[in-house]
Amino acid sequence: MSTEGRARKRIAVLGSTGSIGLQTLDVVRRHSDELEIVALAANTSVAKVVGQAHEFKVSNIAFGDESLRENPMLAQAHGGVSVGFGQQGLLDLVRLDEVDVVVNALVGAAGMRASYETLACGKQLALANKESLVVAGDLIMPLAARVDAARVERGIAPQVGPAGALMPIDSEHGAIYQCLLGERHEEVSALWVTASGGPFRGMTRADLAGMTAKQALAHPTWKMGPKITIDSSTLMNKGLEVIEAHHLFAMDYDKIKVVVQPQSAIHSMVEFSDGSVKAHLGTTDMRIPIQFALSYPDRWEAPVEPLDFTRLGSLEFYPADTETFRCLALARHAGSTGGTLPCVMNAANEVAVAAFLDDACGYLDIDACVEHAMELHEKQGVQRVESLDQLDEVDAWARGVSREFIAAK
C-alpha cells in the first residue's frame, strides 16, 4: 500500500528486546513504508537496545534499570542519542512529540504507568502489557474512551469500527476485536477465550507437585517470554485475559468463557444471540496480532505463511480444568470482585512466578501464594480503585506478603 501523501506512524517500543518487542521490530522492517521506530526502551539489555538504535536510526532510548547510568556500552550509541533511566525515562519517551503510537510490551506491573501516560497524552496505545488492564483497567479504559472521542473529533478515527485509541496486542483479544467489528454489542451472548492448555494439560495436582521450571517453560505451541510462559502453564494467563476482556469489551464476567483448544489455531471466538459463532483462525505467530494493532483499520500483506487448512487436521475443544489449575478460578474471582483485588492477585503471582523460576518454591506454591495474598486482602477490605499511587501501595503490600509466604516454604 502506498503512503504517498500520508506520514508514517511513528512508534515507541517499550520492551524492545523481549519477544513481543522483537516481533514488533520485524513487522516494522517489513512495512517500513508505513511505520517508523522513533524510540526504544528495555529494562537492562544495553547492547541489544544500542544495536536496535543503530539499525532504526533512533534518537531516544531508555532503560528501566537506574543502575545502568554509568554503563560503558552506552558510549557506543550513535551521536545525538538521548538516554533516559528508570520510570521517568520510560515516561519521557511516551511524552515525546514525535511519538504517535506506543507499543507497550513491558513485562509486569512496570508497564502500567506507561500505558496510563500514553493515553493521558492523547496517543494511541498498542497494548501487550496485561497488567495495565488487569490492575488499572478502571483508570485506563475511561482514558481510552476520551482519546477515542478526540480521534473522532479530529477526523482520524476509522469511519467504521472502534476509534482505535487502545489496540490489544494479544492473539486472543486481537481475535475478539476483529470478530466484533461491525457487530452490535447487545447481540453478543458470549466471548470465548481460547487456551492451548499449556504443557501440563490433562495432568492432576499430584502430577504437578514436582514440576520444574524447565518443564513449565516447554510450551507446546507458542514461543513467549518466561513469565508469560509460566502463566500459560498455570492458566493464570487465561485468568488475566478474562479480566482484560471484561475491560476491553465492556462485557460481564458471566459472558466471558474459556475453552481449551490445543492446536492454538482458533485464537478466540464470539457467540451471538442467534446462535452464530465467529471464530478467528490463523498461524500461531504473534506478528499477526501485532501487525493488525499497528495497521488498523487497514490490513497489510501477511507477515507469515497463512494457515494451511488442508494440513490442519482436527480441531479439539475441552473445558478448562479449574480444579487442577486453580489460578484461573482465582483470577476470575479477583476480576468479579474488582477494586484492588486484581492488583493483589497480580502482584502475588509475579512474586511467586519469579520465585519458581529461581527454584525458590514449588510449582503448586504459585497458586497457594496468590490465594494467600488475596484472602488477606479481602479480610482487610478491598478498596475502590482511585489512583495509580494507591495501586502502587497495594502492589507493594501484596509483594511483601507474598515474599513472606514464599520464604516460609
pTM of the model: 0.94
**pLDDT for the residue 48:** 95
The domains of the chain, with CATH numbers, are 9-169+285-295 (3.40.50.720)
> Using 50, 70 and 90 to split pLDDT, how confident is the model at 6?
low
pLDDT score recorded for residue 73: 79
Contact (CB, 8 A) for 252 and 308: no
- Residue 89 counted as an annotated binding residue: no
Please write the tens of the pLDDT for every residue from 122-131.
999 999 998 8
* 264 known member of a binding site: no
Round the average pLDDT of the chain to a whole number and report it: 93
- pLDDT class of 300 with cuts at 50, 70, 90: very high
> Which of these ranges, 34-48, 79-93, 166-180, has the smallest mean pLDDT?
79-93
Report, as an integer, the average pLDDT of 230-237.
94
pLDDT in tens, 54-71: 999 999 999 999 989 888
Is 71 annotated in some ligand binding site? Answer: no
The percent of residues in the chain predicted with pLDDT above 70, rounded, is: 97
219 is in an annotated binding site: yes
Residue 335 confidence (pLDDT) above 70? yes
Report pLDDT for 3: 42
> 196 labelled as ligand-binding?
yes
Q: Is 130 annotated as a binding residue?
A: yes
**Measured between alpha carbons, how far is 286 from 274 in angstroms, rounded to an integer?**
31
CA distance 123 to 316: 40
Q: Residue 154 and residue 134: Cα distance in Å, rounded?
A: 30
What confidence score (pLDDT) does residue 80 get? 78
Is the pLDDT reported for residue 5 higher than 80? no
Q: Identify the pLDDT of residue 218.
A: 86
Residue 19 counted as an annotated binding residue: yes
pLDDT at residue 2 in the model:
38
Answer yes or no: is 273 a known binding residue. no
Q: Was 132 annotated as part of a binding site?
A: no
* 171 known ligand binder: yes
Distance of CA 286 to the CA centre of its chain: 12
Asked if residue 238 belongs to a known ligand binding site, the reply is yes
pLDDT digits (tens, 9 = 90+) for 262-296: 988 999 999 999 999 999 999 989 999 999 999 99
| pLDDT for the residue 409 | 81
pLDDT above 80 for 220:
no
The answer to whether 232 is annotated as binding is yes
Highest mean pLDDT among 3-17, 80-94, 139-153: 139-153
